[in-house]
């Protein structure tokens, strides 16, 4: 299957491949992106996570991640595979100096059960900019992070 960014200009317009790409783009345009009620739910979960992170509320942080061995969290200095590795990291990380300011936060929902949250963050006294992306999925137990990536770059 070809993704929506595939360059259609190299395709014969009469080919099945060209029609497939066009159909995929039309489906995305017609999909329910950023439905207000869903966006409100994910935004609340995102900021609940943020408050738990800066307050080092490990129980809430744990609750907001999918409890599965397929959960992935790539951190600024660690690659964590599975909820057990994520829990161990949370238990052993420093519990001070966690305050941060968010900037350029973008939360986008796709349908009623999938969302991506992206943000930059800044910590006082640091010359680095943090970047965080989370994939959220609505499971029977509520919205959970199924994949996350954190990185730092020079300001």
Domain count, the chain: 1
Order the strands of the 128-139 sheet from edge to edge: 79-81, 72-74, 142-154, 128-139, 114-122, 101-110
Paired tokens of 123:
């910590």
- pLDDT, one tens digit per residue, over 92-110 is 998 888 999 999 999 999 9
- Asked if residue 70 belongs to a domain, the reply is yes
- pLDDT, one tens digit per residue, over 107-146 is 999 999 999 999 999 999 999 999 999 999 999 999 999 9
Q: Name the pairing type of β-strands 142-154 and 72-74.
A: parallel
- Asked if residue 120 belongs to a domain, the reply is yes
- Asked if residue 95 belongs to a domain, the reply is yes
pTM for the whole thing?
Answer: 0.80
Q: What is the CATH number of the domain that holds 123?
A: 3.10.450.50
- Asked if residue 49 belongs to a domain, the reply is yes
- Asked if residue 92 belongs to a domain, the reply is yes
- Asked if residue 93 belongs to a domain, the reply is yes
Domain housing 101: 36-154
């Amino acid at each position: 299957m070809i993704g929506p960014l595939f360059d259609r200009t190299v395709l014969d317009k009469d080919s099945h491949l060209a029609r497939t790409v066009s159909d995929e783009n039309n489906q995305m345009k017609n999909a329910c992106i950023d439905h207000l009620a869903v966006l409100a739910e994910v935004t609340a979960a995102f900021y609940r996570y943020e408050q738990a992170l800066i307050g080092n509320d490990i129980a809430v942080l744990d609750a907001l991640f999918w409890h599965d061995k397929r959960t992935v969290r790539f951190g600024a200095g660690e690659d964590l595979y599975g909820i057990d590795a994520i829990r161990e990291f949370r238990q052993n990380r420093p519990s001070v100096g966690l305050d941060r300011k968010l900037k350029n936060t973008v939360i986008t929902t796709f349908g009623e059960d999938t969302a991506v949250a992206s943000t930059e963050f800044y910590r006082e006294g640091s010359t680095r900019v943090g970047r965080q992306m989370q994939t959220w999925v609505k499971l029977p137990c509520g919205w959970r992070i199924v994949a996350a990536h954190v990185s730092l770059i020079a300001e």
